[in-house]
Amino acid sequence: MINYLFKNQNWQSQLNDLITDPFELLEQLKLTKYDLSDDALLANQQFRLRVPRQFVAKMQQGNAFDPLLLQVLPHHLEMHNPSDFITDPLHELQANPHTGLLHKYASRVLLTLTGACAIHCRYCFRRHFPYNDNMPKSQDWLDIQQYIVSHPEINEIILSGGDPLSLTNQKLKVWLNRFSSLTQIKTIRFHTRLPVVIPQRIDAEFLQILDDIPQQKVMVVHANHAQELDQEFDRAMHDLRQKNVICLNQSVLLKGINDNSVTLSALSYRLFQATVLPYYLHVLDKVAGSAHFYQPDSNAIQLQEQLRLALPGYLVPKLVREVNGELSKTPL
Ligand SMILES: *Cc1c(COP(=O)(O)O)cnc(C)c1O
Ligand code: SF4
């Protein structure tokens, strides 16, 4: 395994040393003959390549169809967008009562503390989201707190983003202490891809911070393919479990990456090996620039049927989509 190189490398230095140049990425993978078209480079200007070296080390050299590579490499089809693929398919801007706060489902609010991610996933439904106008600062806490207190049905805070674990431990600690001071909040949840792409993010200091808050903790990681997971991921999940953190995974159904039952079964078993259970399998939101990853519902439903036959029930993710105005995710 090449990944021993990264095992003892501090997560922040890895975050400061991402690959952001598509030509460098192709060179690392010995794909020197790969043709990056003008459209692919334009797509890269709209949403810059960003990928940790540790994630690149898990890609297969010489394979232009590597399932990890396809998730991050700008593609010319992003610039040939069908009209039903739009910039804000979830109308999130409308469910935004305060800076950084999304309240769509009764019992839980979603907070975007940062727009930064360790990796830029080409299919991401937030690739067009105006994060810069929408990041709460310390002075916004009073407003957020007031909103939560005036909605006693809220019992869970979900930290999303961006990737909340791209914040420093110090910053996270300040926010987590604020949340844990609210007695109505029973659960604190993270939606994050960092434990997959830079597992060293789950460090001793962060584990201690989690241990110090009394709420139930949930870590929903995001992996789409078993090849993304390695021993360092297993170590991170093991350490979280030691602190009684419930670990789940969500994936996105992506054409050409994980759209067959063999790949998705292997992912479920690999997650289980790390004691992580599959949570959601999302059908793609129709976000501008992602149409080449789209699979029709009929294929998704057929795939779920195959998974039900292949896997024990607890390893079958729930196939869902997000529908504007619905009060929960919608099963297919
Ligand atoms: C997905 C989502 C949640 C979490 O939904 P669960 O079904 O509880 O995982 C909460 N708020 C918003 C705005 C969401 O998009
Ligand atoms: S929010 Fe998640 S899916 Fe979107 S780019 Fe960041 S890590 Fe990838």
pTM of the model: 0.96
Concatenate the DSSP letters of all residues of 127-191 into one string: TT--GGG----GGGHHHHHHHHHT-TT--EEEEESS-GGGS-HHHHHHHHHHHHT-TT--EEEEE
Q: How far is the CA of 152 from the centre of ligand 2 (A)?
A: 30
Is residue 121 lining ligand 2, measured as CB closer than 6 Å? Answer: yes
Bridge pairing between strands 318-321 and 330-331: antiparallel
Helix (H) or strand (E) holding 280: strand 277-282
Per-residue pLDDT of 292-327, as tens digits, reads 999 999 999 999 999 999 999 999 999 999 998 899
Which of 11-15, 61-65, 136-140, 202-206 bottoms out in mean pLDDT, i.e. has the lowest? 136-140
Predicted pLDDT of residue 288: 92
Q: Is the pLDDT assigned to residue 259 strictly greater than 80?
A: yes
Q: How far is the CA of 282 from the centre of ligand 2 (A)?
A: 13
Which of 19-28, 83-92, 157-166, 257-266 bottoms out in mean pLDDT, i.e. has the lowest? 83-92
Q: Is the pLDDT assigned to residue 5 strictly greater than 70?
A: yes
Q: Where are the alpha helices (DSSP H) in the chain?
A: 4-7, 11-15, 22-28, 38-46, 53-56, 69-72, 141-149, 169-180, 194-197, 204-212, 231-242, 261-273, 297-310
What gap in Å lies between CA 70 and CA 122, rounded to an integer?
8
Predicted pLDDT of residue 216: 98
Predicted pLDDT of residue 130: 61
Is residue 328 lining ligand 1, measured as CB closer than 6 Å? Answer: yes
Per-residue pLDDT of 135-175, as tens digits, reads 888 889 999 999 999 999 999 999 998 999 999 999 999 99
Contacts of 22 (CB under 8 A, 6+ apart): 36, 40, 41, 44, 49, 73, 74
**Residue 285: other Cβ atoms inside 10 A:** 19
Contact 267, 277 (CB under 8 A): no
Mean pLDDT confidence for 28-40: 94
Q: How far is the CA of 197 from the centre of ligand 2 (A)?
A: 11
Per-residue pLDDT band at 131 (split at 50, 70, 90):
low
What gap in Å lies between CA 69 and CA 60, rounded to an integer?
9
Per-residue pLDDT of 94-121, as tens digits, reads 668 888 899 999 999 999 999 999 999 9
Contact 279, 191 (CB under 8 A): no
